[in-house]
Amino acid sequence: MTKLKYAAFAAIIAVGSFNIFYISRPLSAPMPTQVYLEQLTWVEVRAALQGGKTLAIVPTGGVEQNGPHVILGKHNYVIHHTAGEIARALGNALVAPVVTYVPEGEAAPPEGHMRFPGTLSVPEPVFAAILEHTARSLKAHGFKTIAFIGDSGGNQAMQADVAARLDAAWGADGVRVLHISDYYSANGQVDWLLAQGEAPNDIGTHAGIRDTSELMAVYPDGVRPDRMARHGGRFGEETGVIGDPRLASTEYGEKMLSLKINAAVAQLRALLPPAPGS
């Protein structure tokens, strides 16, 4: 064997030994401190599951108009933050990526938020399919509880329907699927603002004090202070604002967020047995 052939043969043997060494090494990872699924490796997710993090939060947001002063992705920023805080408070949860495509009204002819440029909408059956197959994926990996938490009103009914159907179907497998409704509909935000002296019409229902304050707290660059107006009146056209965003503040936003987080945590704890070691 020539020196050149011997060197090539030796190199092949060395590379093969290197690959065998790394392939045969056990794949392991410590229990992750990160709660966002998309920021973990599969090995870290396996370690989390083995360590008891078997609750998966599926947050849903949306891309919709929020007046001239709040960006279209408001719900996604808010629910990404709150879902992470809910998972940390529970101690046994990971957070799936935010579902950003949700029902926002018909496209032809445009209705609801779809009358404003930039809003994106999918039919309810499509949204339901996304929820179901996300849950099926999580169940396949060993998650024992899957919790839908939605930051938008239009997401709530379909989340409840899908959760009820899958919860009934998977009970024999020891898997729960829950719609955490209190996060959105029983969080005490309006009562708290009324107690601060804010009027119902100023609190409003969309792109007013609550929505604007929440985004100020999690992503202030998403708010355009120079475009705020009560019900959007000074713009001379329909604006999609119901309330008075001029009364919003970061301090209000932090309180609004904490009320949502606490409501979801309380409901989950009421529905589920305590996490190991809690």
Q: Pinpoint the alpha helices (H) of 171-249.
A: 182-185, 189-195, 200-203, 209-218
Question: For the whole prediction, is pTM greater than 0.85?
Answer: yes
Per-residue pLDDT reduced to its tens digit, 142-170: 999 999 999 999 999 999 999 999 999 99
For the chain, domain boundaries: 20-186+260-271
Give the integer Cα–Cα distance in Å for 183 and 181: 5
- Specify whether the CB–CB gap between 65 and 121 falls below 8 A: no
Q: Could you tell me the CATH superfamily of domain 20-186+260-271?
A: Creatininase (3.40.50.10310)
For residue range 198-255, what is the model confidence (pLDDT) as tens digits? Answer: 999 999 999 999 999 999 999 999 999 999 988 876 666 789 999 999 999 999 999 9
Under 8 Å between Cβ of 263 and 182? yes
